[in-house]
């Protein structure tokens, strides 16, 4: 089962050309499930719906309840922003969680849960987008605490391990990533732990998803860093859901256009007994 997570950079930059590059990249990847952040909707159109239609996938969408700060950045009060899931399989349940944040930086960030009904089992799938301020590690710790509790409430009883994707805006050794994983510190929910899929990557593979090689990123002064994640609960019976491969994608121009300011992360998970 191929899982992708990708922040699509909303309606920033040359968004119409970028959207075509996003679609071309996803077509090439042929994912089974995609977690998306910074997805736009406006004038009756929805980027997730369009992508799903072009790719022949099901979709779910969760708009931000507080998009005003985002809208001011592009000067358009009519565009919504949110998280979305694209799925090869039907979405039989969906719920959202508004992540906690103090009012001075609260821009309505969310977690979206989608239950995916494969012929053999349900897959509990989540995608999220945490606060981005560099100084906000403590806030992100509160957010991953709320996220972990939300996961525990919704994951259900299914043999496939829970999958959590998203732009965590946090470095791999940060307090919030350690707290959410629960392997190197006490987990938020007793017994609930997650493995960072990138731990299975080739050690020589490019890993950063916020990359100064990307011209949209190079305009800033921050360093290159990995801030986008696919987290997977420990494998089920027979190795169900174990990480077979992980890599970056969307990390170069498509016909001269970079798809997003983020690279995507792609993980292939075992969907049957380990050979």
Q: List Cβ neighbours of 145 (8 Å cut-off, separation of 6 or more).
A: 179, 188
Mean pLDDT of 85-113: 97
Rounded CA gap, 148 and 108, in Å? 18
Give per-residue pLDDT as tens, 192-202: 999 999 999 99
What is the structure's pLDDT at 274?
56
DSSP secondary structure letter of residue 199: G
**Domain assignment present for 132:** yes
Res 46 pLDDT > 80: yes
Q: Is the pLDDT of residue 252 over 80?
A: yes
Residue 272 has pLDDT above 90, yes or no: no
**What's the rounded mean pLDDT across residues 144-163?**
97
Q: Tokens standing for 19?
A: 């959207």
**Backbone dihedral angles phi then psi of residue 153, each to the nearest 5 degrees:** -75, -25
Does any domain span residue 274? no
Whether 275 has a pLDDT exceeding 60, the answer reads no
- Confirm whether 275 is domain-assigned: no
Residue 192 lies in a domain: yes
Q: pTM above the 0.85 mark?
A: yes
The 10 Å CB-count burial string (b at 16+, else e) for 48-74 is bbebbeebebbbbbbbbebbeebeeee
Q: How many CB atoms lie within 10 A of CB 12?
A: 16
CATH number of the domain that residue 32 is part of? 3.60.10.10
Tell me which residue has tokens 């629960």.
182
Q: What is the pLDDT of residue 273?
A: 65
Q: Looking at the domain assignment, is residue 214 inside a domain? A: yes
Range of the domain at 170: 2-269
d(CA 114, CA 59): 9
Checking if the pLDDT of 212 tops 60, the result is yes
Q: What is the pLDDT of residue 221?
A: 82
Number of folded domains that form the chain: 1
* Rounded mean pLDDT, 159-182: 98
Between 192 and 275, the more confident residue is: 192
Average pLDDT over residues 12-40: 98
């Amino acid at each position: 089962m191929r899982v992708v997570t990708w922040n699509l950079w909303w309606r920033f930059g040359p968004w119409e050309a970028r959207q075509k590059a996003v679609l071309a990249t996803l077509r090439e990847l042929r994912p089974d499930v995609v977690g998306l952040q910074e997805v736009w909707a406006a004038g009756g159109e929805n980027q997730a719906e369009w992508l799903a239609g072009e790719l022949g996938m099901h979709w779910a969408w969760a708009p931000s309840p507080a998009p005003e700060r985002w809208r001011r950045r592009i000067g358009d009060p009519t565009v919504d922003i949110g998280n979305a899931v694209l799925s090869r399989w039907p979405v039989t349940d969906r719920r959202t969680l508004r992540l906690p944040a103090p009012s001075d930086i609260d821009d309505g960030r969310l977690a979206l849960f989608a239950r995916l009904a494969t012929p053999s089992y349900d897959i509990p799938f989540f995608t999220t987008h945490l606060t981005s301020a560099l100084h906000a590690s403590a806030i992100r710790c509160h957010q991953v605490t709320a996220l972990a509790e939300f996961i525990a409430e919704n994951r259900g009883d299914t043999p496939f391990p829970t999958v959590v994707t998203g732009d965590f805006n946090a470095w791999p050794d940060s307090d919030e990533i350690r707290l959410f994983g629960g392997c190197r510190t006490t987990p938020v929910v007793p017994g609930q732990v997650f493995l960072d899929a990138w731990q299975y990557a080739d050690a020589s593979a490019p890993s950063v998803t916020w990359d100064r090689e990307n011209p949209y990123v190079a305009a800033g002064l921050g360093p290159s860093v990995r801030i986008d994640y696919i987290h997977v609960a420990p494998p089920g019976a027979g190795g169900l859901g174990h990480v077979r491969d992980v890599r970056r994608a969307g990390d170069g121009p498509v016909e001269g256009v970079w798809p997003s300011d983020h690279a995507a992360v792609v993980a292939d998970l075992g969907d049957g007994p380990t050979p």
